[in-house]
Chain A
Amino acid sequence: MTTMAQALNTALRHAMDEDERVLVFGEDVGALGGVFRITDGLTAKFGDDRCFDTPLAEAGIVGFAIGMAMGGFRPVVEMQFDAFAYPAFEQIASHVAKMRNRTRGMVELPLVIRIPYAGGIGGVEHHCDSSEAYYAHTPGLKVVTPATVEDAYSLLREAIDDPDPVVFLEPKKLYWSKSDIERLDRTGPFGRAAVRRPGRDATVVAYGPSVPVALEAAKAAADEGWDLEVIDLRTIVPFDDATVAASVRKTGRCVVVSEAAGFAGVSAEIAARVQERCFHSLEAPVLRVAGFDIPYPPPMLEHHHLPSVDRVLDALDRLQRDDRPDTRYLPADGVA
């Protein structure tokens, strides 16, 4: 059995084997192998000039990677946790994302910023943010998040080979998910969503940590006679409008599942895109099952926040009825 953590480690090994310009650096990635052990053994195998620890400074790590990419290397840097990546945000938004554009294609930045993200692992404060919208909203970045062991390998290989900078978001709670796949391989380029389960009655769009939730919901729904199609985006940017729209035009119903706060989030963008493209095929409003619009809760309360199978089924139930607001949740003054 192979875990997602092992698949990511294998992807780094293969990339470093094939191209000596590929370097891995960040906090604790050397002797320790990273706090999630994704870089385990890389320093031992490739030497500490290929995989090395840096000072503890995220802006410095990303800025240094920019300079190294300008100098001909292909850095893969690790941010230790989602919320610890924020010091690097200026480097990411003002330089990583814009370098190709501001130099009119004369300076490319082939680099990967790996970020363990999202919740579900009982992490204490500042260890569980769903920060994908910040990056997805920044033109010039590719934003990728695997949901399967196979994709973890394939998408990371694609990211390292890509001529553009990639923010590679690793769902922490899936690090220990397993697959019995015998040989890890490339599964396809960026920009193609995967239909994880074909179905006729409604489309569930998900990405990263929410894909297993969507699949489980589909299984439960099948018992009630509902045949759900589950789409795994794989890459948030570039976004695969074609696959999502084709599915919703077929099913006529759509639920988007995402751990991040729903307001102004990636799930909102997906809902908007679906209604722009599929309005006349829709038989019900596009619904979102997202995290609440609250700072990430303490670990003992996070299960109240995260989209659950029940919430997905609940949304599905509403899809069958009508498009009036769910009166059970109206505020006392009745205004929604």
Chain B
Amino acid sequence: MTDRVEALLPSAEPVRFLTDSGAAVRGRQRYEVPDPELLRRAHRAMVVGRRFDAQATALTKQGRLAVYPSSHGQEACQVGSVLVLEDGDWFFPTYRESMALVSRGIDPVEVLSLLRGDAHCGYDPRRHHTAAQCTPLATQTVHAAGLAYAERRKGTGRVALACVGDGATSEGDFHEALNFAAVFKAPVVFLVQNNQYAISVPLERQTAAPSLAYKGIGYGVRSERVDGNDPVAVLAVLSAAVEHARSGHGPFLVEAHTYRLEPHTNADDASRYRTDAEAEEWRGRDPITRLENYLRRRGHLTDEDIAAASAEAEEFAERLRTRMNTDPELAPMGLFEHVYGTPTPQLDEQRARLHAELQAEEALS
């Protein structure tokens, strides 16, 4: 019994491979060091991701986006969560995972449709094996459990990975998802990006648990906690979690300790609930700087690589800026499509009414 409990419990301290400055942590690790090529890809994706995030924030200030929840500071988790997945694996993002979606290779304009407001989901979830970004908290964790169980039943070897924030761990659906996933041995990884605040409410008002990773033990879910600003540790732990799920050992819960450097969204004022000093402290644990220092020291990253990553990021932002600089084409008649497979007679009537209104407007203009 004790052995079983021990096997499920997270490490006493968050798993770290890198110090705050990016030096390798001494001592034996429970997880394998990721392949240098994966780390180089993560570096490039984080540089591009951060630039994308800054561009999206700028687009919001210019009125091109209705709102944007930034993930600046959480790059290691954003990028790590998708780099550990294979193409056929399913990703279940929240509204804060725009950077992760871009890192997954989804067109950034399609990603930003939700936040621009021209469509609830701009990309094809089936094509990208990526669910629509979820705004109600933790509700998609149960979908991830169900989908993972479906994949297990079909014997595809595919897994699902669902993201939530610290606040969402207080929602009932998070607990039901852990429980269902464990009972049905669903191959799903739950990644909690504990960025310390649910909008303004600090972690100590969400939980009295030793840490969020301890929520797993009550459900029989293997859990781990990781320094979420250490890209090496994030990739090491998430890779192990995905492997655990894929090899038939059931769900895995990962809590990543990180920090959202920006406000909740552009509409938020973080100065009302936290200090600059606190954010400054977290800036000292910057995931990109840490990984750069680590890879350079080992000869896996050169000045040219870093310059190339920056150039790629600038190009990415430039293209996005240009494409977002025009108004999206709107299709009001589309409002009636996809309510049901076949529209009801009532929807046909309402559609005809809107059509007539639009024609009358057009005739006037």
Contacts and interface: CB of A to CB of B under 8 A. Distances in A.
B126 A107 contact: yes
Nearest to A240: B345
A64 B146 contact: yes
A102 B146 contact: no
B139 A101 contact: no
B173 A63 contact: yes
Contact of A103 (B132, B145, B147): B132
The interface size bin for chain B is: 35 or more
A66 B136 contact: no
Nearest to B337: A105
A73 B132 contact: no
Contacts of A87: 172
Interface stretch (B36-44, B96-104, B116-124, B240-248): B116-124
B151 interface: yes
B145 A64 contact: yes
A104 B119 contact: yes
B332 interface: no
Given A71-B147, A106-B124, A238-B346, A63 B153 contact: no
A296 B340 CA distance: 32
A100 B339 contact: yes
B191 interface: no
A107 B344 contact: no
B215 to A, nearest CB: 15
A67 B142 contact: yes
Contacts of A94: 136, 139
B154 interface: yes
A9 to B, nearest CB: 24
A55 B340 contact: no
Contacts of A241: 345-346
A250 interface: no
Contact of B338 (A69, A70, A73, A104): A104
B346 A239 contact: yes
B142 A91 contact: yes
Interface in A206-264: 237-239, 241-242
A60 B338 contact: no
Interface in A258-301: none
B149 interface: yes
B180 interface: yes
B312 interface: no
Contacts of B154: 71-72
Interface string B182-198: 01100000000000000
Nearest to A54: B180
Contact of A55 (B132, B160, B180): B180
Contacts of B140: 95
Interface residues of A, number: 46
Contact of B173 (A54, A60, A65): A60
A119 interface: no
B144 interface: yes
B157 to A, nearest CB: 13
Contacts of A103: 120-121, 124-125, 132, 338
Contacts of B344: 191, 237-239
B105 interface: no
Nearest to B176: A60
Contacts of B143: 63-64, 66-67, 70, 95
B229 interface: no
B332 to A, nearest CB: 14
B150 A71 contact: yes
B27 interface: no
Nearest to B160: A67
A73 B173 CA distance: 21
Nearest to B173: A59
B126 A67 contact: no
Interface in B288-327: none
A100 B176 contact: no
Contacts of B150: 67-68, 70-73
Contact of B341 (A57, A65, A100, A139): A100
A43 B148 CA distance: 22
Given A68-B150, A103-B121, A60 B177 contact: yes
A194 B20 CA distance: 72
A239 B184 CA distance: 38
A157 interface: no
Contacts of A95: 136, 139-140, 143
A68 B334 CA distance: 27
B179 interface: yes
Given A60-B176, A242-B345, A140 B340 contact: yes
Q: Among the interface residues B144, B153, B338, B339, which one has the most CB atoms of the partner chain A within 10 A? A: B338
Nearest to A139: B339
A90 interface: yes
A109 to B, nearest CB: 10
Interface string B162-174: 0000000000110
A40 interface: no
Q: Among the interface residues B144, B146, B147, which one has the most CB atoms of the partner chain A within 10 A? A: B146
A64 B172 contact: no
B339 A101 contact: yes
Interface in A193-215: none
Contacts of B126: 106-107
A142 interface: yes
Nearest to B149: A68
28 contacts: A49-B153, A54-B180, A55-B179, A57-B179, A59-B172, A63-B141, A63-B173, A63-B176, A64-B143, A64-B149, A64-B184, A67-B143, A71-B146, A71-B151, A73-B150, A95-B136, A95-B139, A101-B120, A104-B120, A104-B338, A139-B339, A191-B345, A237-B344, A238-B345, A239-B346, A241-B345, A241-B346, A242-B345
Given A67-B143, A103-B132, A163-B341, 4 more contacts: A59-B176, A64-B184, A65-B146, A101-B338
6 tightest A-B CB contacts, nearest first? A67-B146, A71-B150, A63-B142, A60-B176, A67-B147, A102-B120
